[in-house]
Structure 1
Amino acid sequence: MIPVALLAALAVQNAVPPFATDMYSPAFPRVAQDLATSSTAVGLTLTAFFVGMGLGQVIGGTSSDQRGRRLPIIVGGAVCTLGGVVCATAPGIEVLMVGRVLQGLGGGAAAVVGRAVLVDVARGNQLARTMSILMAVGALAPMIAPVAGGAVLSVATWRSIFWCLTGFGLFMMAMAAALVPETLPVEDRRGGGLRRFAASFAMLVTRSRFVGYMLTSAFSGFAMFAYISASSFVLQEIKGMSTMQYSVFFACTAGSNMLMAILNSRLVGRFQPRRLIGAGLTISATGITLVTTSVLALGLPLVPLCAGFVLTMAAQGLVFGNASALALTEVRSTAGAASALLGLAQATAMGVSAPLASSGGGSSALPMVAVMLVGIVGAWCAYLLVGRTQPPRSGDMTPRDREK
């Protein structure tokens, strides 16, 4: 069994993206007004975060394969904290984007090393189950974050949100330092710098099953993030929700994700993770169909629109943990680099999704629908294609695996 304290510490590292995006999302209209910029530019601050997160995962994952897990995860928290300070004091949208890159850089490094730690200590269905538990615990963040953001906005400016995120960066750094042990022995570390980094990535992209599950997760995230980035404009500006009403609804959708992740942790072992991914994609497709029908044919009625959002978010509880576990199981010997590439693909998908989906601002929901449709079609294609490839080989083992 993995210690509860370690799971809690890793959940905090993985909570950076939802806190840094969901706590901030209710403030999008205010940021656009205060900094005299467009909704697309505000959407690009999410892209900036995910650009930094992608880079952070590459740097953190590969360096953790070379130098061990503890130092990169602690440094990640420090960089994330610095990014929060830059965002809170930003005089314009450009500096805000720089701060968001720093937040993503540190948060990405911490999150990717956290996943590598799990691969070090868990195996098989236990890894998929633990990933789901981690997602369920981490899903508390997107439940708390938007409500907290709405509460802060009711008494202060959007800058106060980033001061709160600065405090969270300090907390994640302290948790990592106190509770995350070194899980990668010296004999399993891989040196070589940039040459080893390039060789690891070149090897990973040849593993068709790894790539297939990675793209399943990335495209599913592409669809989900259309909701996360555009729903504040659609529900607040088009449908007239207040900031707090939107924040509470957003927390409910995050809660549906948490409940599904908890259910998934119970179902792993009874059902193969791949079958659970298929169920999740079916639920997501149903939700996106509801959203599409509401926007294109029904004139944006609130109930089916919100029901579609809930289903889309809930489905990720069956997709992300299982797809990540199956992908990482394929390449255990380079867990840090594999986790980095997996995170980079997810961050890229979400970073591209945000400005595209939010480009309609408060005037049109069509861009959001288009992005959601592209995401679910891409996820299904990747999922079906990976089913045609050969099952994992037994030769990809670390020295410790060979001893067992």
Structure 2
Amino acid sequence: MNPSRSPEVPITAGLIIALAIQNAVPPFATDMYSPAFPQVATDLGTSATAVGLTLTAFFIGMGTGQLAGGTASDRYGRRRPIITGGLICTLGGVVCALAPGIGILLAGRILQGLGGGIASVVGRAVLVDVAHGDRLARIMSILMAVGGLAPMLAPVAGSAVLSAATWRMIFWCLAGFGLLMMAMAAIVIPETLLASDRRHGGLRRFAGGFAELVRHKRFMGYMLTSAFSGFAMFAYISASSFVLQETKGLTAMQYSVFFGCTAGANMLMALTNSRLVGRYRPRRLIAVGLGISGGGIALVTLAVLAWGVALVPLCAGFVLTMAAQGLIFGNASALALGEVRHVAGAASALMGVVQAIAMGISAPLASSGGGASAVPMVAVMLTGIIGAWAAYLLVGRAPSQRRLPGV
């Protein structure tokens, strides 16, 4: 079987923006909504725990959407699934906005996550179809940098909406965002998978495709490098508010400003990476990123275990850890997906699910110490960086595989 081909599609600024919009659903659907939690609980007469479950519902839907969307796009092409994802996301927003109780709100959040998962995973597959090698790594980094704006803008946007309207207006805004996703997909994103390259088959072929991906050592190595690095990063994201506010006494505003600075460092490093790719191989840039992340985590470890939670080295370690992801995520994702271009949809789905699982496990483990102890956070960060280095080094020993076994 010949390697997969793609129609000649120019990579324009419009296409990159359209793909970035497909990937912006998670931060907007979670961070824009979070300031409204107390209002939702009061209005629907429910508990804070039940409202918190709406986040869980979103990510359950998103994981399911990535699995379904990635596989469907390998079978039916890219355009229909990505447009469908925007439609489902829009419907989910409408259901949430009209929800009379917490049960309907949970159902709407699952729909939102399902649509967002489909759109984001197919968007990555489209990029793999049209970009190769260093160019793929460069554009992945640009998408990361653009995506880095969303976590900084979403809470501000949510607070602005709440200052003028109720929490339901946030979901009407998110429904509008779903319409924008759908419109951009329909107008800007072309079909990038030829009919002759589509994979047909039932549930057995679906399961077989994932089994084959797991056997591809280089794909798995780069995917796990990214996942373990995300595991370490999410320890900071989930536990730093407790450590910096409750242990070190920072105000909510001071913490928000610092968090924004670390997100900005990540975005700037991703933009820098997009300029470095081509001059330096992506694999070498991953090693630099892992080195910076390792240095940052070493600083955090010393600050907590040896220096009594010293504020300056602790914050410096957090900045380095976040910035390093700009050299790791885009390059590792590009190299992993580049190994299995002919099943880009399924591979993108598997990557998304594994990364979500890694971050989902990291958060409760790292924050288990609350404001009383930062040791669990340090343990999770150390586990993440050790795992990332191990996966990266194992990739170098794996033979190159142009095709999956048995395909």
1:12 and 2:25 aligned:
no
Say which is worse superposed, 282-291 or 204-213, in terms of deviation.
282-291
**Bigger mean CA offset, 122-131 vs 146-155:** 146-155
Confirm whether residue 69 of structure 1 aligns to residue 81 of structure 2.
no
Instruction: Please report how far the alpha carbon of residue 324 of structure 1 lies from its aligned counterpart in structure 2 after TM superposition.
Output: 0.7
Q: State the AA in 2 paired with 1:359.
A: S
1:192 match: 201
Aligned pair in 2 of structure 1 residues 219, 71: CA closer, same or farther (>3 Å)?
same
Determine helix, strand or coil for the equivalent of 1:298: coil
**Quick one: which of 379, 388, 401 aligns to 1:393?**
401
**Aligned counterparts of 1:253 and 1:69: Cα–Cα separation in 2:** 34
User: Any stretches of 5+ residues in structure 1 without a counterpart?
Assistant: 398-404
Map of 1:357 onto structure 2: 366
Contact 1:288/1:372 (<8 A) preserved: yes
Which residue pairs with 1:222 in the alignment? 231
Counterpart of 1:346?
355
Q: Which string of whole-angstrom CA distances, capped at 9 and with x for unpartnered residues, describes residues 357-400 of structure 1?
A: 3334454433333322222221111111111111x234569xxx
* Letter of the structure 2 residue corresponding to residue 393 of structure 1: Q
State yes or no: 1:211 paired with 2:251: no
- The alignment's TM-score, normalised by the length of structure 2, stands at 0.85
- In structure 2, do the counterparts of structure 1 residues 86 and 249 end up closer, same or farther at CA, with 3 Å as the change threshold? farther
Counting only pairs closer than 5 Å after superposition, residues 63-142 of structure 1 correspond to structure 2 as 63-85=72-94, 98-142=107-151
SS of match in other structure, 1:183: coil
1:295 equivalenced with 2:295 (yes/no): no
Contact 1:151 1:244 in 2 (8 A): no
* Residue 355 (structure 1) shift: 2.8
Q: Which of 294, 302, 309 pairs up with 1:285?
A: 294
- Amino acid of the structure 1 residue aligned with 2:378: V
1:167 paired with 2:157, answer no
Give unmatched runs, 5+ long, in structure 2. Answer: 1-9
1:182 partner SS? coil
Indicate the residue corresponding to 1:378 in structure 2: 387
For residues 225 and 383 of structure 2, the distance between their equivalents in structure 1, rounded to whole angstroms, comes to 12
Is the deviation greater in 135-144 or in 293-302?
293-302
User: Is residue 213–residue 404 contact of structure 2 (8 Å, CA) maintained in 1?
Assistant: no
| Maintained 8 Å contact 2:299/2:314 | yes
- In structure 2, what is the Cα distance between the partners aligned to 1:231 and 1:99? 30
Q: Check conservation: 1:26, 1:247, Cα contact below 8 A.
A: no
Q: Say whether the 8 Å CA contact 1:212–1:383 is kept in structure 2.
A: yes
Between the aligned partners of 2:163 and 2:375, the Cα distance in structure 1 is 30
- Pick from 316, 320, 328 the counterpart of residue 319 of structure 1: 328
In 2, Cα distance between equivalents of 1:337 and 1:314 = 29
Higher alpha-carbon deviation: 14-23 or 190-199:
14-23
Aligned length: 394
Counterpart CA distance in 2 for 1:12 and 1:254 is 18
Task: For residue 269 of structure 1, give the secondary structure of its aligned residue in structure 2.
Answer: coil
Label 1:46 to 1:291 Cα distance change in 2 as closer, same or farther (>3 A).
farther
- Structure 2 match to 1:148: 157
Q: Is the 8 A contact 2:85 2:117 kept in 1?
A: yes
Secondary structure of 1:205's counterpart equals helix
Residues 219/46 of structure 1: CA separation in 2 closer, same or farther (3 Å cut): farther
Query: Matches of 1:149 and 1:309 in 2, distance apart?
Result: 26
Identity %: 74
Q: 1:50 to 1:353 in 2, by over 3 A?
A: farther
Query: How many angstroms does 1:335 deviate by?
Result: 1.0
In 1: Cα distance, 2:190 partner to 2:88 partner:
20
Match of 2:69 in 1: 60
Contact 2:128 2:344 in 1 (8 A): yes
Task: Quote how far apart the aligned CAs of 1:42 are.
Answer: 7.5
Distance 1:147 1:359 in 2: 27
> Could you give the per-residue CA deviations for residues 280-336 of structure 1, whole angstroms, max 9, x where no partner exists?
111112222233333334344443333222222111111111111111111111111
Taking only aligned residues, the RMSD between alpha carbons, in angstroms, comes to 3.0
Q: CA deviation at 1:268?
A: 0.9
Match of 1:333 in 2: 342
> Which one has the largest radius of gyration?
2
Q: Is the 8 A contact 1:230 1:358 kept in 2?
A: yes
1:86 and 1:96 in contact (8 A); partners too:
yes
